[in-house]
Amino acid sequence: MKIILAENAGFCFGVKRAMKLAFEAAKNSPTPIYSLGPLIHNPQQVQLLTQSGVQVVSDLDSLTSGDTIIIRSHGTNPETLQKAKCKGLNIVNATCPFVVKAQELAQILAQEEYQVVIIGEGNHPEVIGLTGFAGENVWVVENAEDAAKLPEKKRIGIVAQTTQSLDNLRKVVSVFLGESDEVKVFNTICHATALRQKAALALAKEVDLMIVIGGYNSANTNRLASLCKETGVHTYHIETVNEIEKSWLKNISKVGITAGASTPDWIINEVIERLKIWEQECTKNS
């Protein structure tokens, strides 16, 4: 049986960087440090972080001067950063540089008095953070239908949540192109998600079974699993190695593996090792 790991599986650059900063901060701090919201959508890795001394808080209220707060890769709004400074907290800002770029561009558009439009999910932490940088006159739209309902404006400035699809960006932009004198668009989409999906899809088409590893609460892992299923290949979504069953491998000659952006390497490696052991057992017994 051949075991093939998809390209770009697991941690993206931004999550890898956030993890490194968090573990370094935990190592260098004699007291607990805090993350503003879970650093990652993976329960096993969050548990590991907690054991290393990183506790999750939902706001800054309970923290006092000298405490350390980690801002996760999605970023946060300027008000929260200001509040953390005023409280005298040590800030470890793990906002992904791609998200920082989108925040800066939203801020510039607001300063240049464009009507800022953010394409994304309104309740996602990244979009909530972006909104804070875009000033008071900001519209958040999920899709072209939302955009079509908005009043006309002469000058529109657009940024997108980093995980949006290019297709959705194009559709929203075309709505404003028909109505406004000036439309300024910054393509702030990060390619990590698209690359991971493309590689998973290509692999799903050449194997007999796909195993997608990642938190059940991870939107990008769920998306990977549904994309693989759509190709018609038998697909299992698991969080940990203990969920795999030997019976899945019956009559399988090629297994493909991929993992979401928040799935650590150690969980991926445990799955691969388990499959290799079973493969060796099969070879011995045959």
Q: How far is the CB of 104 from ligand SF4 (least distance, A)?
A: 14
- Is 98 near ligand SF4 (CB under 6 A)? yes
Instruction: Assess 81 for contact with ligand SF4 (CB under 6 A).
Output: no
| Residue type at 42 in one-letter notation | N
By beta-carbon proximity to ligand SF4, the closer residue of 13 and 248 is 13
- β-pair type (138-141, 115-119): parallel
The binder of ligand SF4 chosen from 99, 158, 160, 212 (CB under 6 A): 99
Residue closer to ligand SF4 by CB (options 15, 275) is 15
Among residues 1, 3, 4, 13, the one that binds ligand SF4 under rule CB under 6 A: 13
Could you say whether residue 190 binds ligand SF4 (CB under 6 A)? Answer: yes
Beta strands 209-213; 155-160: pairing state: unpaired
Q: Tell the smallest beta-carbon distance from residue 206 to ligand SF4 (Å).
A: 25
3-state secondary structure of 124: coil
Q: Which of 73, 131, 168, 263 binds ligand SF4 (CB under 6 A)?
A: 73
Conformational region of residue 248, where left means phi above 0, alpha means psi within -120 to 50, and beta covers everything else:
alpha
Q: Is 126 a catalytic residue?
A: yes
Structure tokens given for 139: 């519209």
| Distance of alpha carbon 88 from alpha carbon 56, whole angstroms | 19
192 binds ligand SF4 (CB under 6 A): yes
215 binds ligand SF4 (CB under 6 A): no
Site for ligand SF4 in 151-180 (CB under 6 A): 162
Strand extents, DSSP E, the chain? 2-5, 33-36, 54-57, 68-71, 90-93, 115-119, 138-141, 155-160, 182-185, 209-213, 234-238, 254-259
Cα separation, 21 vs 257, whole angstroms: 28
* Closest separation in Å from C-beta 120 to ligand SF4: 12
Nearer to ligand SF4, 92 or 190 (CB): 190
The one catalytic residue in 7, 113, 121, 126 is 126
Q: How far is CA 214 from CA 66, 147, 263, in A?
A: 35, 33, 5
What amino acid positions are annotated as catalytic residues? 126
Residues contributing to the site for ligand SF4 (CB under 6 A) = 12-15, 73, 96, 98-99, 162, 190, 192-193, 261
